[in-house]
Amino acid sequence: MSRLSLLLPLLLSVACNPKGDDTAGIEEGSDGSDATGADSGLPPTDDTASPIPTISGTISGTVSVELYTLDENGARQYISYEDATGGVFPWQKIFVGAYYTGPAGVDQYVGTDVVLDPVVGPNPYDINFVTEEATSVYVYAILDYYPDSIVGTDEPRGVYPMEIPLTDGASITDIDITILAPAPGELDGVGGGTGTCDDVSIAGDVIITVTYEGGDVAVMLADTEGQGPYVSTAMTPAEDGGGATGAYELSSCAGYGDMQLLGAWDSDADSMFTPADHWGAYISEPDVDGNPINVGYTDLTDYDVQIPLGDGSGLSIVPFVQLSGTVSMAGGTFDDLPPGSSVYVAALKYRPNSDLNITETSNAYDMDVFEWSDLTGQSSADWAIVVPADTIVYLWAYADTDADGFVNEVGDPVAASGEDENGRYPTGTTSTGGISLGLVVPAE
């Protein structure tokens, strides 16, 4: 069974982000000519132009992976590592990236890190960031849930919910992230299938067309929406001129139909194939993306993959989305609450079944807080929170009527949004607004 057949019903994703491509270029003179004196067609270089200032510094924190199981109703239940794995951390890598969205709408990475051999408990990471454009970034982490070293669209992720401003020389600390992941074996059988299939082979050469300084290459299949990989293989190319080449062979289930054949080169030598690496695709001729290909029941040969090619990673990674809307008192105004009350809108990892210390909980991905001064005289308040994309959150609003930091107590007004009364809300791959939450006192 392919890896996506397990998680695809629960997790999808959307578009991602590479490092800027290297360019072969020509050696230019200061007058815009090439080294031979011929006119390159480029404008003369302005030696008096001011250089673009570079902002650099560090971002550090920890990444923790929390495990869950699903009960008979499909609701998440926390499970300890001791109960799930005997206290052993069962995965090998975690990717952490800091990025911003560039003017063309393509995400650009200012720095990344990979936690190799993570352990149970917080795992420290350090990102050295360098940018000439970004003034702020978001930071997220993805667990390599499947042992292929590829940051895929179907793998558990966590986000730091606040935008992080950048200044030159800054040392930004305590950017801590939690990833919520299914316990090993929890998703076996999800999505159906027998676990076996008829195989077909896809083979060809990988061609790296920029300076090659070592590193492995992965070739993989993704669907036409960029979700994947369904299957992958890795190899080490050999230097060839200024770049590199090497043969690959990929074994896939037959009958997938239209798919994308993609390649990634671990160009930053961090032992993972990430959105910050160089990516490419199957070519019908040099520099021409030949996707989609048709994966039927016949072996495919001479399917060459060129790296780099295109302006994205090929896989559709959306780290986070924003949920927003209004919160109000159903049938009244906030003045109906006792003076001094506060209101919280929170995206929770689990459905709370008892009172909740909202000021200290680690159960929330993100929350928006409204103090009494924000509420008096108002009929509603606008809220916005940041959550991981393509997952399930429990979206709730609470009123703390006795100002003790505990909510969901008997008599406290609450509101839930989502597909059912538990507040389950699929986050999807695009930000969603206009979500209304009306606080009511639940019936006893």
Domain boundary among 277, 307, 337: 307
**Structure confidence at residue 219 as a pLDDT band (50, 70, 90):** very high
Whether 156 and 177 have beta carbons less than 8 Å apart is answered as no
**29 is a domain residue:** no
Torsion of CA 35, 39, 41, 42, to 10 degrees: 50
pLDDT higher than threshold 50 for residue 10: no
Whether 98 and 110 have beta carbons less than 8 Å apart is answered as yes
Q: How many CB atoms lie within 10 A of CB 249?
A: 13
Residues 264 and 367 in one domain: no
Residues 238 and 337 in one domain: no
Domain boundary among 156, 182, 208: 182
Once rounded to an integer, what is the mean pLDDT over residues 33-53?
A: 46
Domain containing residue 415: 320-439
Using left for φ > 0, alpha for ψ between -120 and 50, and beta otherwise, residue 5 falls in alpha
Average confidence score pLDDT of the chain: 87
Whether 223 and 259 have beta carbons less than 8 Å apart is answered as yes
Residues 10 and 151 in one domain: yes
Per-residue pLDDT reduced to its tens digit, 63-99: 999 999 998 888 899 999 999 999 999 999 999 999 9
pLDDT higher than threshold 80 for residue 443: no
- pLDDT at residue number 187: 74
Residues 158 and 133 in one domain: yes
Lowest mean pLDDT among 300-309, 365-374, 376-385, 410-419: 410-419
| DSSP 8-state secondary structure symbol assigned to residue 183 | P
Q: Percent of the chain beyond pLDDT 70? A: 85
Residues 272 and 339 in one domain: no
- pLDDT at residue number 81: 97
Using left for φ > 0, alpha for ψ between -120 and 50, and beta otherwise, residue 325 falls in left
**Structure confidence at residue 52 as a pLDDT band (50, 70, 90):** low
Residues 121 and 143 in one domain: yes
Lowest mean pLDDT among 112-126, 176-190, 337-351: 176-190
**161 is a domain residue:** yes
Residues 324 and 412 in one domain: yes
Say which CATH number the domain at 235 has. Answer: 2.60.40
**30 is a domain residue:** no
Distance between CA atoms of residues 274 and 400, nearest Å: 43
Residues 84 and 113 in one domain: yes
**What's the total number of domains in the chain?**
3
Q: Which of 265, 15, 274, 13 is nearest to 127 (CA)?
A: 274
| 353 Cβ neighbours under 8 A, 6+ residues apart | none
Residues 252 and 289 in one domain: yes
Lowest mean pLDDT among 101-110, 231-240, 245-254, 434-443: 101-110
Residues 434 and 332 in one domain: yes
**189 is a domain residue:** no
pLDDT higher than threshold 80 for residue 42: no
Residues 257 and 366 in one domain: no
Q: Are strands 432-439 and 320-329 parallel, antiparallel or unpaired?
A: parallel
* Angle at 260 (CA atoms; ends 254, 261), nearest 5 degrees: 80
**153 is a domain residue:** yes
- pLDDT at residue number 419: 67
- pLDDT at residue number 139: 98
**43 is a domain residue:** no
Provide the strand spans (E) within 79-216: 93-101, 107-116, 123-131, 136-143, 157-159, 164-165, 171-172, 177-182, 199-208
| 83 Cβ neighbours under 8 A, 6+ residues apart | none
Helix (H) and strand (E) counts for the chain? 3, 30
Q: Which pTM was predicted?
A: 0.83
Per-residue pLDDT reduced to its tens digit, 289-325: 999 999 999 999 999 999 999 888 889 999 999 999 9
Domain boundary among 307, 329, 361: 307
- pLDDT at residue number 195: 54
Once rounded to an integer, what is the mean pLDDT over residues 260-283?
A: 96
Residues 12 and 69 in one domain: yes
- pLDDT at residue number 33: 38
**Structure confidence at residue 36 as a pLDDT band (50, 70, 90):** very low
**124 is a domain residue:** yes
- pLDDT at residue number 109: 94
Distance between CA atoms of residues 230 and 234, nearest Å: 14
**42 is a domain residue:** no
